[in-house]
Amino acid sequence: MRRYILAFAVTAITAAPFAAQAATGKEIVVEQKCTKCHSIKAEGVAAAEDKPTIIDLSGVGKDHDVAWFKGWLNKEIERDSIVKKGEKAKHKIAFKGTPAELDTVAAFLKSLTKK
């Protein structure tokens, strides 16, 4: 019995740091529900809903740099809307993950260079 408890404790302690980091950019996109409005077809990420307003982010890394993605996702950047012609727009939602997750997602978006 004692040995089992010890084994469990060791597992819990060693597994914890991995559980805390881990998430890849792709996983964060799903966890943060970006898929309510976006797909990333080139990466096999489907949108959560089938609606005409879904914007595919495949290839988006060719258009912007990492700093832009971070500012955009924090709603700090306004630019010409890609959906409402002639209007300025900020992103729909502000990023709710951690700063480390924002770094990961921004780098992931930058890596999306294939349509």
Q: Which residues make up the interface to ligand HEC (CB under 6 A)?
A: 29, 32-34, 36-38, 55, 57, 60, 63, 69, 73, 81-84, 89, 91-93, 95, 105, 109
Nearer to ligand HEC, 11 or 80 (CB): 80
Nearer to ligand HEC, 12 or 94 (CB): 94
- Alpha helices by DSSP H, 1-58: 2-20, 25-31
Helix axes 99-110, 66-73, angle to 10 degrees: 130
Nearer to ligand HEC, 10 or 79 (CB): 79
Query: From the centroid of its chain, how far is CA 47?
Result: 13
Nearest residue to ligand HEC, by Cβ distance, number only = 34
Q: Which residues of 39-55 are buried (b: 16+ CB within 10 A; e: fewer)?
A: bbeeeebebeeeeeebe
- Listing DSSP states for 76-96 in one string gives ---EE-SSSTT-EE--SS---
Q: How far is the CB of 17 from ligand HEC (least distance, A)?
A: 24
Q: How far is the CB of 4 from ligand HEC (least distance, A)?
A: 41
Nearer to ligand HEC, 3 or 51 (CB): 51
Q: How far is the CB of 34 from ligand HEC (least distance, A)?
A: 3
